[in-house]
Amino acid sequence: MNKNMSKNIQKTEGIVTKHIPIGEADRIVTLISPSIGKIRAVARGSRKPKSKMGGHLIPITRVKISVANTKTIDQITEVETIESFRKIKEDLYLLSKASYMTELAENFVQEHSESKQIFNLLLQCITLLQIAPDIEILVKFFEIKLMSQTGFKPEMIICSECGTKLVPGSYKFSFESGGLLCHQCAGKIHSFTEKLSTNSIKLIRFIQNENFEKIAKLNSTKNLLEEIERVISGYMRSILDKELKTKPFLDLIAKQTKNSITSKNTL
């Protein structure tokens, strides 16, 4: 390491979200950190069999990292694993959920910008993936809390178009305005909406306001979670203006898991 590089080293922790190979032996690694936000840096020689860094820079790994700021792309100089989340990596279903959450979080994190709230939420939910009794409600918790933290909190109390306070009942959710529509406004807006039942609205509100310890005690039905999933997926597509790369993989694993459970029940 040259003297100029050593003067510009930042030390932080982070969660590895992805890596891509470059050249014959290097990788470009992306991480989410609390103090620096999104880190995109090259790990020189990390693909070599005897590399000291390679085994630490696997997606869904919590690491301590030293990053040298250069004029071109930042360079990883040291890395040490804090937590490997081995249970997640050994379970394809859990891995699909963790991959989805890290990709989603990455879309809301900026480079060289403090992202402590998002990092802590991601770390909490990846950790809970290993022990949570209901994985689907945990993913909904992550999505809804993430939207709240980043300025996209779904409006569930008043009409997102006219501001009228809503009485208990079922309403349409507008992806464009990011919230529920009163019946009058819903009659004027016919595209990019999805209906939410009274119980789905109650559950989203509860998740917005409570911690996971309380939410984990709920007995949410499959139909209820699927209804909320349709709304959150549509709203996320509207916010990001794209489909996440991990979404097809997530849907495939969910389908395989469902078929596996159905097969066992028919034996």
Q: What pLDDT sits at residue 204?
A: 97
CB 13 within 8 A of CB 83: no
The DSSP code sequence of 132-175 is -S-HHHHHHHHHHHHHHHTT---B-SB-TTT-PBPPSS-EEEET
DSSP result, 207-245: HHHS-HHHHTT----HHHHHHHHHHHHHHHHHHHTS--T
What is the residue-level pLDDT of the chain in tens, covering all 267 positions? Answer: 555 555 589 999 999 999 999 999 999 999 999 999 999 999 999 999 888 888 899 999 999 999 998 888 899 999 999 999 999 999 999 999 999 999 999 999 999 899 999 999 999 999 999 999 999 999 999 999 999 999 999 999 999 999 999 999 999 999 999 999 999 999 988 789 999 999 999 999 999 999 999 999 998 888 999 999 999 999 999 999 888 877 777 777 766 765 554 344 443
Among positive and negative, which fits the CA dihedral 8, 11, 15, 21?
Answer: positive
Question: Which pLDDT score is estimated for 215?
Answer: 95
What is the model's pLDDT at position 244? 84
pLDDT of residue 167: 97
Contact between 7 and 23 (Cβ < 8 Å): no
Residue 126 CA, chain-centre distance (Å), reads 9
- Residue 192, both tokens: 């990019």
Q: Cα angle at 151 between 150 and 153, to 5 degrees?
A: 105
pLDDT of residue 261: 40
One fold for 9-85 and 132-266 = no
Please write the tens of the pLDDT for every residue from 191-232. 899 999 999 999 999 999 999 999 999 988 889 999 999 999
What residues does each domain of the chain span? 9-85, 132-266
Residue 42 CA to residue 81 CA, distance in Å, equals 17
The helix (H) or strand (E) run that includes residue 249 is helix 247-266
Per CATH, domain 9-85 is 2.40.50.140: yes
Q: What is the DSSP string of 182-215?
A: -HHHHTT--SSEEEE-HHHHHHHHHHHHS-HHHH
Q: Model-level pTM?
A: 0.90
Third-level CATH fold of 132-266: de novo design (two linked rop proteins) (1.20.1440)
